[in-house]
Chains A and B, each alone.
Chain A
Amino acid sequence: MDVERVRPLIPNEAKKRLIQVVGAENYDDTKTGRLVYSYDATPQFQSLPDAVIAPRNTKEVAEIAKICNEYRIPIVPRGSGTNLCAGTCPVEGGIVLLFNHMNRILEIDEENLTATVQPGVVTLDLAKAVEEKGLFYPPDPGSMKISTIGGNISENSGGLRGLKYGVTRDYVLGLEVVLANGDVIRTGGKLAKDVAGYDLTRLFVGSEGTLGIVTEATLKLIPMPETKQTMLALYQDLEAAARSVSKIIANKIIPATLEFLDQPTLEVVEDFARIGLPTDVKAVLLIEQDGPKEVVERDMKKMADICRAEQAVSVQLARSEEEAEALRTARRAALSALARLKPTTILEDATVPRSEIAKMVKAINEIAEKYQLKICTFGHAGDGNLHPTCPTDARNREEMERVERAFEEIFAKAIELGGTITGEHGVGVMKAPYLEWKLGPAGIAAMKAVKQALDPNNIMNPGKVFAKSTRKRVVVTR
Chain B
Amino acid sequence: MTTKIERALIQKAFQERMDEDELMNCMRCGFCLPSCPTYIESGQQEAQSPRGRIALMKAVVDGLIEPDEEVERALNLCLGCRACESVCPSGVRYGHLLEEARDIIAQHKKMPLPVRLIRKLVFAGLFPHQGRMRKATALLGWYQRSGLRTLARKTGLLRLLPASFRQMERVLPDVPTAKEMKNRPHRLNPDGTVKKRVAFFAGCLMDTMFMETNDATLRLLQLAGCEVIIPPSQGCCGALHGHGGEKEMAKELAKRNISAFEQLDVDCIVTNAGGCGAFLLEYDHLLKDDPEWRDRAEAFAAKIKDISEVLVELGFHQLPLRVAPQTITYQDSCHLRNVMKTAAAPRRLLRAIDGVEFREMNDADRCCGSAGIYNLVEPEMSMQILDHKMEMAKQTKATTIVTANPGCLLQMKLGIERAGLSGSVRAVHIVDLLLEAAEGAQATQGEERIRQTS
Contact = CB atoms under 8 A, between A and B. Distances in A.
B248 interface: no
Contact of A39 (B21, B47, B55, B89): B55
Contacts of A4: 64
A43 B70 contact: no
Contacts of B71: 32
Interface stretch (A329-337, A404-412, A463-471): A329-337
Contacts of B31: 143, 145-146, 333, 336
B18 to A, nearest CB: 14
Given A343-B21, A343-B24, A337 B89 contact: yes
B29 A336 contact: yes
A340 B90 contact: yes
A394 B21 CA distance: 11
A426 to B, nearest CB: 16
Contact of A143 (B30, B52, B56): B30
A476 interface: no
Interface in B2-41: 21, 24-31, 33-34
A333 B31 CA distance: 9
Interface string A33-44: 101111111110
B448 to A, nearest CB: 40
B65 A32 contact: yes
A207 interface: no
Interface string A390-402: 0001100000000
B30 A80 contact: yes
Interface in B37-94: 43-47, 52, 55-56, 59, 64-66, 68, 70-71, 73-74, 88-91
B89 A333 contact: yes
Contacts of A82: 29-30
23 contacts: A4-B64, A31-B66, A31-B70, A32-B47, A32-B56, A32-B73, A32-B74, A33-B70, A35-B56, A36-B52, A36-B55, A41-B29, A82-B30, A100-B43, A100-B44, A100-B45, A143-B29, A145-B31, A336-B27, A336-B88, A343-B24, A344-B24, A393-B24
Interface string A306-350: 000000000000000000000000000111110110011100000
Nearest to B91: A340
Contacts of B65: 31-32, 35
Contacts, number: 100
Contacts of A394: 24
A3 interface: yes
A71 interface: no
Interface of A: 3-4, 30-33, 35-43, 80-82, 98, 100-101, 103, 122, 143, 145-147, 271-272, 333-337, 339-340, 343-345, 393-394
Contacts of B26: 339
Contact of A339 (B27, B30, B34, B68): B27
Given A100-B44, A339-B89, A81 B55 contact: no
B70 A30 contact: yes
Contacts of A339: 25-27, 29, 89-91
Given A32-B71, A100-B44, A340-B90, 6 more contacts: A32-B56, A40-B28, A43-B27, A81-B46, A98-B44, A336-B90
Given A36-B55, A336-B27, A272 B91 contact: yes
Contacts of B73: 32
Residue picked from B21, B31, B47, B64, most chain A C-beta under 10 Å: B31
A31 B66 CA distance: 9
Contacts of B43: 100-101
Nearest to A337: B89
A189 to B, nearest CB: 29
B46 A36 contact: yes
A306 B263 CA distance: 61
Contacts of A43: 27-28
A272 B91 CA distance: 7
A334 B52 CA distance: 22
Contact of B47 (A33, A40, A272): A33
A81 B30 contact: yes
Contact of B29 (A30, A335, A340): A335
A296 to B, nearest CB: 30
A41 to B, nearest CB: 5
B173 to A, nearest CB: 38
A40 B27 CA distance: 9
Given A35-B64, A343-B25, A122 B90 contact: no
A121 to B, nearest CB: 12
A345 B74 CA distance: 27
A117 B84 CA distance: 28
B382 to A, nearest CB: 21
A272 B89 contact: yes
Contacts of B56: 32, 35-36
B68 A32 contact: yes
Residue picked from A30, A145, A146, most chain B C-beta under 10 Å: A146
Contacts of A143: 29-31
B414 to A, nearest CB: 29
Nearest to A345: B27
A80 B33 contact: yes
A375 to B, nearest CB: 16
A35 B47 CA distance: 9
A41 B91 contact: no
A343 B90 CA distance: 10
B19 to A, nearest CB: 11
Contacts of A334: 89
Contacts of A38: 55
A307 B30 CA distance: 35
A334 B27 CA distance: 12
B318 to A, nearest CB: 25
Contacts of A41: 27-30
Residue picked from B24, B55, B90, most chain A C-beta under 10 Å: B90
Residue picked from A100, A101, A343, most chain B C-beta under 10 Å: A343
A382 to B, nearest CB: 23
Contacts of B64: 3-4, 35
Nearest to B28: A41
A40 B33 CA distance: 13
Contacts of A345: 27
Contacts of B55: 35-36, 38-39
A241 B74 CA distance: 47
A335 to B, nearest CB: 7
A100 B43 CA distance: 7
Nearest to A269: B89
B33 A146 contact: yes
Contacts of A340: 25, 89-91
A147 B30 CA distance: 9
B34 A145 contact: yes
A394 B31 CA distance: 22
Contacts of B27: 41, 43, 335-336, 339, 344-345
B117 to A, nearest CB: 30
Contacts of A335: 27, 29, 89
B275 to A, nearest CB: 25
B28 A337 contact: no
Contacts of A272: 89, 91
Nearest to A103: B44
Please list the 4 inter-chain residue pairs (A to B) with the smallest Cβ-Cβ separation, ordered nearest first. A336-B89, A339-B90, A343-B24, A32-B70
Contacts of B91: 271-272, 337, 339-340
